[in-house]
Amino acid sequence: MEQSLIAAVSGIEANQTYLDVIGNNIANSDTTGYKAEDPVFTDLLAEQIAGASAPDPGQSAGVNPIAVGAGVRVGAVSNDQSQGAIQQTNTPTDVAIQGSGFLVASQQGQQFYTRAGNLTLDANGDLATSTGALIQGWQADAQGTINTNAPVTAISVPSGQVMPAQATTSFTMGGNLPAWSGSGTPPVITTTMNGYDSLGNTVPVTLTFTAVANVANEWSMQATVPSGNSTVSLFTTAPTLTFNPATGQLASITGVTANTDGSYSVKVSTMPTGFTFPTGDTWAIDFPAPGSLSAVTQFGGEQTAQLSSQDGNAAGTLESFTIGGDGVIRGAFSNGLTTPIAQLALANFANPGGLIDDGNLMYSASANSGQPAVGPTGTGGRGTLVGGSLEASNVDLATELTDMIEAQEAYQANTKVVSTTSTVLQSLVQMQ
């Protein structure tokens, strides 16, 4: 009699835990990044009534052991690590993890891990969880370079961050000059682009290409900058560009030796006056290697030759930012440039189910989770990120409600065993 009571009580306790887990799952059905829990039941040590006996050929058959179970217990509560739905929020600080991995966070000197990407910026511009843990990753240097081999640190996106001005050192040409046969009126092609001095002042530079009269496939080049009511020429002697008539590709530039990759860098003779430039700074007009996709050509048809880029910029203030799939936070500045600010790190574990649940959707490593493998997104089995989105809870309410009915029925069945056993015991007492 006592055995049935013990087994029934264990069943009541186990199913009470089952209901507790279901209740917690339902309560967190709308919690960002929550992973549903599921109890794992295991039976208790059975009471051996009789052992097994081996067959005796020709005399008797073997007999199986006889044992009566002692009940049930919750052996573990596992986490469902399946992907939750990705929901777009368009909030720049929100980020969802697509695939495996956890965001790395630090609070009070302890490392935590979370799937909840509803992040915020604090008064210092630090990226943090809603409960104040600092998100970890790698900060970009002044040139926008990120070293993911360095130790992770707190990520900062300061409001009003200033991108310093950078003086131009080179301009890059691209596009097509119209085919020149050497006869007729020589065409004149101009293209203008702003460069910058050390203080970010704009320096408008105009390149003028003039076909050489009576000479096919040759163009002279001059660069000018406005100075008061006149212009200043940057080349004392205008270089001449010669194109291969068979291929339409640049063949040579007078006074300039091709670089090892086949490209050309034409140094100006005189720097613009009235501006501030680094000591010894000399501009160059770069021509990509002939045959490359961005090479300057001479084909018949539309004229598209232009200064396509330059490496300087005016000072700018951070206006907005986005988080890319690679975890890189890219800032958009008032000078029209976009540059990396930082990169989020992700952590992977050999056994994510072994993590310790510390509440607030934060986990910490345990002896059975394995050590965190921290690195950039998309590497080492780590997932990618979706900026401006959040990962919803993976709780399936239909499943939870069905499980709740099953747990309730099992709970009631165990209480019925207690009631029945009590009735039987009373019958025995009344017999005495």
Distance CA 355, CA 221 (A): 67
pLDDT at 75: 87
pLDDT at 301: 84
Contacts of 384 (CB under 8 A, 6+ apart): 97, 98, 99, 325, 326, 327, 377, 378
Q: Which amino acid is at 105?
A: A
Distance CA 112, CA 101 (A): 12
pLDDT at 88: 95
Contacts of 347 (CB under 8 A, 6+ apart): 101, 102, 103, 104, 113, 372, 373, 374, 382
Encode pLDDT of 11-32 as tens digits: 889 889 999 999 999 999 999 9
Of 261, 38, 263, 315, nearest to 253 by C-alpha is 263
Beta bridge partners of 110: 107
> Which secondary structure element, helix H or strand E, spans residue 185, and what is its range?
none
Encode pLDDT of 130-153 as tens digits: 999 999 999 999 888 999 999 999
pLDDT band at 432 (very low <50, low <70, confident <90, very high): low
pTM, to two decimals: 0.78
Encode pLDDT of 101-116 as tens digits: 999 999 999 999 999 9
Half-sphere exposure of residue 68, counting CA atoms within 13 Å on the CB side? 8
| Average pLDDT of span 399-412 | 91
Percent of the chain predicted with pLDDT > 70: 98
Residue with more model confidence, 210 or 1: 210
In this predicted structure, the answer to whether residue 1 has a pLDDT above a threshold of 60 is: no
pLDDT at 10: 82
In this predicted structure, the answer to whether residue 385 has a pLDDT above a threshold of 70 is: yes
pLDDT at 28: 93
Mean pLDDT check: name the lowest of 14-28, 36-50, 251-265, 380-394: 36-50
In this predicted structure, the answer to whether residue 367 has a pLDDT above a threshold of 90 is: yes
Coil/strand/helix, residue 14: helix
| Average pLDDT of span 393-422 | 88
Q: Boundaries of CATH 2.60.98 in the chain?
A: 170-310
| Average pLDDT of span 360-366 | 93
In this predicted structure, the answer to whether residue 72 has a pLDDT above a threshold of 60 is: yes
| Average pLDDT of span 47-68 | 79
Beta bridge partners of 256: 253
Task: Say if residues 71 and 6 touch (Cβ distance below 8 Å).
Answer: yes
Encode pLDDT of 316-352 as tens digits: 999 999 999 999 999 999 999 999 999 999 999 999 9
| Average pLDDT of span 360-384 | 94
Encode pLDDT of 274-301 as tens digits: 899 998 889 999 999 999 999 999 999 8
Domain 170-310 is found in CATH 2.60.98 = yes
In this predicted structure, the answer to whether residue 254 has a pLDDT above a threshold of 80 is: yes
pLDDT at 63: 79
Average pLDDT, the chain: 91
